[in-house]
């Protein structure tokens, strides 16, 4: 039987040497990792955790620490973080990417990602690497720390979905962003759970690596483990243009590979799409809005739990005759040379509407330099747009919050409520060309009916600017003892959990609805990002967008920050979105024992376990209705836990009922939970190894 790309890569990295056909979806598999990447917002914790494991250097061929999320240095705390990251990288043997070098996913794609490798990143959009034929997976910081300590990576054997693309994109107005938005329209934000999407078919032939990377990047919004493209002539061209021709290797699935599911998509039929506030899954055609389709008709295509927000924001858009306030191009999804060159060509000779604020952030310094070399930046700034640094910027709420009741169009991958600091505004996610066109017109129009602006269609350069001065390489191993790690006062040691007791009692401190994001649990933005290295301080913001009383209630019941004193009850897909483990560590610090949900999203589930908390799922979803906020719960039998599906009984003492719940964990995860999380678990292993 032939193998899929996923099977080929997993088999080549499986530390047990087992053949891929001996696995079924859901089985644990342990793989060797070729690279780890971190970014500042999750990286300071990951590096503090690695420090706590107490190894002299990373045990991994390649580690790159990026500074791209919070680069403003608005006060001493941010620069303190950067100094810590620079010095710990030098000491432990990692490459540092300076602030300004660009967004980790774009920069890693340009410089380090290669076909057939497995790499992990402490950021959910690490999946971008699939554009070059790598298996790239987003994980929590502690998984990075333990991988850097030489632990193989454990993942659940995924289902493999073939996405068979035919036809061709109607460039320049229909883009790779519309492909992934169409996937989200069809499958929703839960549609990719436990799956790897493998793109193939004649439609991929003309998709360049950066376009493929747009698709694999935003595959994270499907909840997928990752997404991947084969390595072919486009990959060869990209690697060679990036000055790395020797890293090309062809990698395609076997003709007779067997897939768990198949999706067909004709690229020629696609048209410009948009995701409505506040979920990347709320996808409709831009034309539906331009033609003012009745709101009920739009809502009928979307899940019920998003109707309130969509109704509010689409009604506002209609009342305002489709007028927008802000247009932002950039982010790790759409800030490649091709995306930005097209934007430049749209803006050439045009003027941004006077009521619109437009920003453009390049994905990397090399993209910026390439644009400068080709005189493409001048059209952007001449038109009245603001050119920002090559960082995450507005995407993570570091500036460019839209105005009150505002309408923002963004070429980004996430539009969660409050992500950019907005309270009443809404973000609409769409392609970079659509955002640029709307900035000029001042409102939404149908790009396919555009008659006046005829942007050029760009090809990838034969040779990109590939200056490497923005990387700082680690000092020679023999000199590392002399490197002093600098830690400012805002950098606090990371708290750890305690070993799992046999029984837990506690109230339900919060009961949430479906699709709670990690942004809901731990918001981003200018107020909070400087606190990523300080758990006691950042814990003040837990659940702030959802329930402003949460922290006060937690501290009142647990002033001494004891571990495992309360539970949270969640709906479907609890913890979707970003990889930020602060959404697990900060609740742990407040006293979270575990989450009981209809389902828990992959990275957040892993983060909970890594930090010694229980991700429990209802056996019957309807039992969610039998628990209210404030109910006193009791969970026993924890000393009998084993790898596999544990059936546990949760006693609701307030209602005098018993609720069956499931804890589905591997053998290793049980060991970690019992030890109080991955840190004590790995530390013990390292001590044993060194003894
Ligand atoms: C995001 O896009 O949400 C982030 C910010 O990049 C996160 C990581 C973080 O919270 O620092 C992610 O995607 O994992
Ligand atoms: Fe940065 Fe936004 Fe990409 Fe996250 S999604 S890595 S914040 S650009």
Whole-number Å distance between alpha carbons of 55 and 686 = 8
Average pLDDT score over residue span 343-362: 98
Give tens-digit pLDDT for 219-259.
999 999 999 999 999 999 999 999 999 999 999 999 999 99
Whole-number Å distance between alpha carbons of 144 and 536 = 22
DSSP letter assigned to residue 138: E
Q: Where are the beta strands (DSSP E) in 445-543?
A: 471-472, 504-511
Average pLDDT score over residue span 620-628: 97
Domain residue limits, the chain: 5-269, 273-449, 504-690
Query: Hey, which residues does 38 pair with through a beta bridge?
Result: 65
What CATH fold (topology level) applies to the domain 5-269? Aconitase; domain 3 (3.30.499)
Which ligand 2 atom lies nearest to the CA of residue 331? 8
pLDDT > 90? residue 621: yes
Whole-number Å distance between alpha carbons of 472 and 97 = 6
The whole model's pTM is what?
A: 0.97
Superfamily of domain 273-449: Aconitase, domain 3 (3.30.499.10)
pLDDT of residue 690: 64
Whole-number Å distance between alpha carbons of 6 and 133 = 10
Q: Which helix (H) or strand (E) holds 259?
A: none
Chain CA centroid to CA 666, Å: 24
Terminal C-alpha separation, the chain: 45
Is 395 close to ligand 2, i.e. is its CB under 6 Å away? Answer: yes
Q: What percent of the chain has pLDDT over 90?
A: 96
Whole-number Å distance between alpha carbons of 586 and 318 = 40
Whole-number Å distance between alpha carbons of 79 and 508 = 39
Residue 42 — φ and ψ, nearest 5°? -105, -15
pLDDT > 70? residue 691: no
- Mind giving me the DSSP string for 532-556? TT-HHHHGGGBTTTT-TTHHHHHHH
* Residue to mutate (ligand 1; options 47, 123, 601; most atoms within 8 A of CB): 123
Same fold, 5-269 and 273-449: yes
Give tens-digit pLDDT for 138-197.
999 999 999 999 999 999 999 999 999 999 999 999 999 999 999 999 999 999 999 999
CA of 333 to the centre of ligand 1 (A): 13
Ligand closest to the CA atom of residue 38: 1
Ligand closest to the CA atom of residue 137: 1
How many other β-carbons are positioned within 10 Å of the β-carbon of residue 288?
18
Residue 12 — φ and ψ, nearest 5°? -70, -20
Q: Which ranges of 151-202 does DSSP label H, i.e. alpha helix?
A: 176-187
Cis preceding linkage at 425, omega within 30: no
Is 413 close to ligand 2, i.e. is its CB under 6 Å away? Answer: yes
CB 418 within 8 A of CB 527: no
**Which of these, 329, 364, 341, 331, lies nearest to 108 by C-alpha position?**
364
- Mind giving me the DSSP string for 382-401? HTTPEEPPSSSGGGGTSS-P
Give tens-digit pLDDT for 457-505.
999 999 999 988 999 999 899 999 999 999 999 999 889 999 999 999 9
DSSP letter assigned to residue 347: H
CA of 129 to the centre of ligand 2 (A): 14
Q: For the chain, what is the mean pLDDT? A: 96
Residue 429 gets the label, from left (phi > 0), alpha (psi -120 to 50) or beta, of beta
In sequence order, what are the residues at sequence separation of 6 or more whose Cβ sits closer than 8 angstroms to the Cβ of residue 618? Answer: 596, 597, 598, 624, 659, 660, 661, 662
Name every protein residue with a CB atom under 6 angstroms from any ligand 1 atom: 41-42, 69, 123-125, 138, 396, 414, 524, 578-580
Whole-number Å distance between alpha carbons of 15 and 691 = 23
Q: Which helix (H) or strand (E) holds 557?
A: helix 550-557
Q: ∠ CA 205-208-209 to the nearest 5 degrees?
A: 115
Burial class (CB in 10 A: 0-12, 13-18, 19+), 619: middle
- Three-state SS for 270-325 is CCCEEECCCCCCCEEEHHHHHCCCCHHHHHCCCCHHHHHHHHHHHHHHHHCCCECC
Whole-number Å distance between alpha carbons of 564 and 608 = 12
Whole-number Å distance between alpha carbons of 197 and 216 = 8
Ligand closest to the CA atom of residue 217: 2
pLDDT of residue 1: 82
Q: Atom 5 of ligand 1 has which residue's CA nearest to it?
A: 396
Superfamily of domain 504-690: Aconitase, domain 4 (3.20.19.10)
* Residue to mutate (ligand 2; options 71, 217, 413; most atoms within 8 A of CB): 413
* Residue to mutate (ligand 1; options 280, 524, 545; most atoms within 8 A of CB): 524
User: What's the pLDDT band for 688 if we cut at 50, 70, 90?
Assistant: confident
Give tens-digit pLDDT for 353-398.
999 999 999 999 999 999 999 999 999 999 999 999 999 999 999 9
CB 399 within 8 A of CB 393: yes
pLDDT of residue 467: 84
């Amino acid at each position: 039987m032939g193998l899929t790309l996923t099977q080929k890569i997993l088999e080549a990295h499986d530390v047990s040497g087992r053949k891929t056909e001996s696995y079924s979806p859901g089985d644990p598999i342990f793989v060797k990792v070729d690279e780890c990447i971190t970014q500042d917002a999750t990286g300071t914790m990951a590096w503090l955790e690695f420090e706590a494991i107490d190894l002299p250097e990373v045990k991994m061929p390649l580690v790159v620490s990026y500074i791209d999320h919070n680069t403003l240095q608005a006060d001493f705390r941010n620069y303190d973080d950067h100094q810590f990251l620079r010095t710990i990288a030098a000491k432990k043997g990692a490459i540092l990417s300076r602030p300004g070098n660009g967004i980790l996913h774009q920069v890693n794609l340009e410089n380090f990602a290669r076909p057939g490798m497995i790499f992990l990143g402490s950021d959910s959009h690490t999946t971008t690497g699939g554009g070059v034929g790598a298996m790239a997976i987003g994980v929590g910081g502690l998984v990075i720390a333990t991988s850097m300590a030489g632990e193989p990576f454990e993942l659940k054997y995924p289902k493999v979905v073939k996405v068979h693309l035919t036809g061709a994109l109607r460039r320049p107005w229909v883009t790779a962003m519309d492909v992934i938005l169409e996937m989200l329209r069809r499958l929703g934000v839960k549609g990719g759970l436990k799956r790897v999407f493998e793109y193939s078919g004649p439609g991929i032939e003309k998709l360049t690596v950066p376009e493929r990377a747009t698709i694999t990047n935003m595959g994270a919004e499907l909840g997928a483990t990752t997404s991947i493209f084969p390595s072919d002539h486009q990959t060869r061209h990209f690697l060679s243009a990036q000055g790395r021709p020797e890293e090309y290797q062809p990698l395609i699935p076997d003709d007779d590979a067997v897939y768990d599911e198949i999706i067909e998509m004709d690229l020629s039929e696609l048209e410009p799409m948009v995701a409505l506030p506040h979920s990347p899954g709320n996808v409709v055609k831009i034309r539906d809005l331009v033609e003012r389709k009745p709101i009920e008709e739009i809502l009928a295509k979307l899940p019920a739990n998003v109707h309130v927000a969509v109704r509010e924001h689409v009604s506002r858009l209609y009342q305002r005759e489709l007028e927008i306030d802000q247009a932002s191009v950039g982010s790790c999804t759409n800030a490649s040379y091709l995306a930005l060159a097209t934007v430049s060509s749209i803006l050439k000779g045009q003027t941004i509407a006077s009521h619109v604020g437009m920003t453009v952030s390049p994905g990397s310094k090399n993209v910026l330099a390439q644009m400068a070399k080709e005189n493409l930046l001048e059209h952007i700034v001449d038109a009245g747009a603001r050119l920002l640094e090559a960082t995450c910027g507005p995407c993570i709420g570091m500036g460019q919050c839209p105005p009150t009741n505002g309408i923002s169009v963004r070429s980004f991958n996430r539009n969660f409520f409050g992500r950019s600091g907005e309270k009443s505004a809404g973000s609409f996610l769409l392609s970079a060309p659509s955002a640029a066109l709307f900035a000029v017109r001042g409102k939404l129009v149908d790009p396919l009916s555009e008659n006046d602006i005829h942007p050029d269609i760009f090809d990838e350069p034969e040779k990109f600017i590939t200056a490497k001065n923005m990387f700082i390489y680690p000092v020679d191993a023999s000199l590392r003892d002399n490197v002093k790690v600098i830690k400012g006062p805002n950098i606090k040691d990371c708290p750890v959990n305690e070993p799992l007791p046999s029984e837990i009692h506690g109230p339900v401190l919060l009961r949430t609805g479906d699709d709670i994001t990690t942004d809901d649990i731990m918001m981003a933005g200018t107020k909070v990002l400087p606190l990523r290295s300080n758990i006691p301080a950042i814990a003040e913001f837990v659940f702030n967008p959802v329930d402003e009383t949460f922290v006060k209630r937690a501290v009142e019941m647990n002033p001494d920050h004891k571990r495992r004193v309360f539970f949270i009850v969640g709906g479907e897909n609890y913890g979707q979105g970003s990889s930020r483990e602060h959404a697990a560590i900060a609740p742990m610090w407040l006293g979270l024992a575990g989450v009981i949900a209809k389902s828990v999203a992959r990275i957040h589930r892993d983060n909970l376990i890594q930090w010694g908390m229980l991700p429990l799922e209802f056996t019957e979803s309807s039992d969610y209705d039998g628990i209210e906020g404030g109910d006193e719960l009791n969970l026993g039998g924890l000393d009998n836990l084993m790898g596999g599906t544990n059936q546990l009984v949760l006693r609701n003492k307030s209602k005098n009922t018993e609720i069956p719940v499931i804890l589905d964990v591997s053998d290793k995860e049980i060991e970690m939970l019992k030890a109080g999380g991955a840190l004590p678990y790995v530390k013990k292993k390292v001590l044993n190894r060194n003894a």
